Amino acid sequence: MVSDRLRVRLEQREAVLRLLDRRRMETGDPNLGRSMETKILDLELADLVSAVAAEESAERALVPKVGPQGTGESN
């Protein structure tokens, strides 16, 4: 199921981000793993943008076009 895969992926990435935070605290290096963190966040944000766009597109496809007199026909 798609939602199960998404949940697992997000849980795994959350674990990586938590590990990075812990290692930063241990080492005192606030930049430790910064590129990995950025990559994870960029990938997830891009996926979210794509999902929202797909949902909006699907919603527009479901809305019937209505002509000037409400006949259901468009110009």
Q: At what angle do helices 2-27 and 34-62 cross, to 10 degrees?
A: 150
Question: Is the predicted pLDDT of residue 74 greater than 60, yes or no?
Answer: no
User: What global pTM score does this model have?
Assistant: 0.69
Categorize the per-residue pLDDT at 42 as very low, low, confident or very high, splitting at 50, 70 and 90.
very high
Between 57 and 25, whose confidence is greater? 25
Per-position DSSP letters for 31-53, written without gaps between them: TTTHHHHHHHHHHHHHHHHHHHH
Largest CA distance in the chain: 69
What is residue 69's predicted lDDT score, i.e. its pLDDT? 67
Between 63 and 39, whose confidence is greater? 39
Categorize the per-residue pLDDT at 66 as very low, low, confident or very high, splitting at 50, 70 and 90.
confident
What is residue 53's predicted lDDT score, i.e. its pLDDT? 86
